[in-house]
Structure 1
Amino acid sequence: MQALLPAQCELFLNQYTCSELAEYKQLFGTIDPNNDGYITCNQLKNYLMCSMNHISSEELEEIVNEADLSGCGRITFDNFMQLILNRDLKEKRTETKSVFDSFDLNRDGYIDILDLSAVFFSLNSKDENQIITVFKQLDRNNDGKVDFEEFQEFMDYCNDLPF
């Protein structure tokens, strides 16, 4: 097993720990049994069919096409990591959208102060100053409502906090 190259570590360092990168490198090596530094589209398809119980052929093709950036049928480790990163970001965005929707009580596509107050009250927090403070932090453009992008920025900020 080859060690990660400094450029590879640097490319994904902001998103993954070196330990996680090492695990992905090991997985890459598992999918690349001849250890030539590339995964063929067929190798990736075979791995995905074995590891994912109910993957449709459409999903399989979508994943392979997303990984094969050059279209040459070979996937480098960097391409593989980009696929994982894209999938992780997509999953994170979907989860954040679900949370946003649970705050958007009137389903108008925005969180307003009434939506936020109702959520706080449902959590037995009736401190109006706290609600206003949180709302001001969420409403980055001060238009009186929080759209999904503002909410996403706030959630990303919270996820980056060291606790």
Structure 2
Amino acid sequence: MNDHEQKIMVLRKAFQMFDTKKCGYIETMKIGTILNTMGQLFDEVELNSLITKNDPDKTGRVNFDGFCDIATHFLEEDDAESTQQELKEAFRLYDKEGNGYITTGTLKEILRALDEKLTGRELDGIIAEIDTDGSGTVDFDEFMEMMTGD
């Protein structure tokens, strides 16, 4: 998977997190917040002109393509390796014993931290998708797959 595809995956996750009604649109006023969340610096004026370009009718919302167009404008070129490195570090943080896996309980905490609006049932659904063998644990590969969608 190339850098571009990986970026799109990260953006899709961010988009889905903020598209709480699952309507396929997010409010343009949230884009700044999303960029901040991703640790991305941006120029307010530049952001507003990109929003205007992607929302010419001033509906106050954009679809995923529009969001991508705006966000990729600001995303630094960082390689897939550094993303994997960051994920590895995040994983290690939770895999305190260094067993090479984390429990699905721990994963729930991570997911809940990412999005407080997730219900218990939604979390269980996500976990079931990731922990395909039902082992109650998630290894690094499964974790990577969940975070990057490979």
TM-score category by the smaller chain? 0.3 to 0.5
Give the number of the structure with larger relative contact order, counting CA–CA contacts within 8 Å between residues 6 or more apart. 2
Superposition TM-score, scaled by structure 2 size: 0.44
Superposition TM-score, scaled by structure 1 size: 0.41
Which has more strand, going by share of residues? 2
Q: Which entry has the higher C-alpha Rg, 1 or 2?
A: 1
